[in-house]
Chain A
Amino acid sequence: MKTVHLELLLGRVVRDPEGKKAGRIFAVRAEPDGEDCVVTEYLLGTAAMMSRLGISAKRLLGWPIRRKPLSIPWDLLDLRDPKKPRLLCSLAELKGKKG
């Protein structure tokens, strides 16, 4: 059984197949699925870190930042080496899918 420790995954830099930096993992979303709890997406970037800390830029700095965290669906992130998480598509493709 291949396992990953979440606390060691947080803060790791994610790169796409071309080696381009996508950001750091700051949050992992999951949802209950029957008796299990399954991961749905990984959130990257400053906005994800703010979300993890439970603060918003608006509250902290007084103005809204509309930037949303970059979210990677569970099936697009290769975690076989948790120290070096890799995107399974290019960063441009991922942003294209989201946009």
Chain B
Amino acid sequence: MKKKLPDELELARDLLDKQVVDRDETKMGRVDGLVLELREGKPPRVDHLEMGSAVLARCIHPRVESWVDALRRRIGVQKTGRYRVPWAAVQEIVPYQVKLDVKAAETPAFAWEHWLRDHVIAHIPRGLKGKAN
């Protein structure tokens, strides 16, 4: 698939906090961070985008990040507090969203939804789920 990227990007404005969708347009969160790789004698390149609670917490304070990480480990739903998306997976950037060449269900972005499905929804009696039969 050919990438659809603007000729010029203003990284903070065009990427940070933008809605992220997968290749089927399923919403999977927002861009919480962006990592640049510094290279000797070459311009810095965007290495990957980051999503997740720990990334947001880091913006407040590194200590808050470690608290969020500790809480996540204790709850045990998500394996990681950060989902890293390599730049190569970015397919399209438009003013309202960033489209990735990934399948949302196969990423850690839906860890909480999967946990709820397996541990809560699955235990609701059939009649209460709203099914006709």
Contacts and interface: CB of A to CB of B under 8 A. Distances in A.
Q: Do A and B bind each other?
A: yes
Interface of A: 1-10, 26-33, 35-40, 43, 51-54, 74-75, 79-80
Contact of A30 (B3, B11, B37, B88): B11
B5 A52 contact: no
Given A35-B88, A36-B46, A37-B45, A6 B35 contact: yes
The A interface, classified by DSSP as helix, strand, loop or mixed, is strand
Interface string B1-43: 0010101111111001000000000000000111111100011
Count chain B CB atoms within 10 A of each CB in A28, A33, A75 and give the residue with the most.
A28
Contacts of A52: 10, 12-13
A3 B46 contact: no
Nearest to A39: B44
Contact of B35 (A4, A28, A29, A75): A4
B72 interface: no
Contact of A37 (B5, B12, B42): B5
Contacts, number: 98
B47 interface: yes
A7 B32 CA distance: 8
B33 A5 contact: yes
Contact of A38 (B5, B7, B43): B43
Nearest to B56: A7
14 contacts: A3-B35, A6-B33, A7-B32, A7-B33, A9-B36, A30-B46, A32-B9, A35-B87, A35-B88, A36-B45, A37-B5, A38-B46, A74-B43, A80-B38
Given A5-B34, A6-B36, A35-B88, A27 B43 contact: no
Contact of B10 (A4, A7, A8, A51): A51
Contact of B44 (A7, A10, A35, A74): A74
A2 B11 CA distance: 19
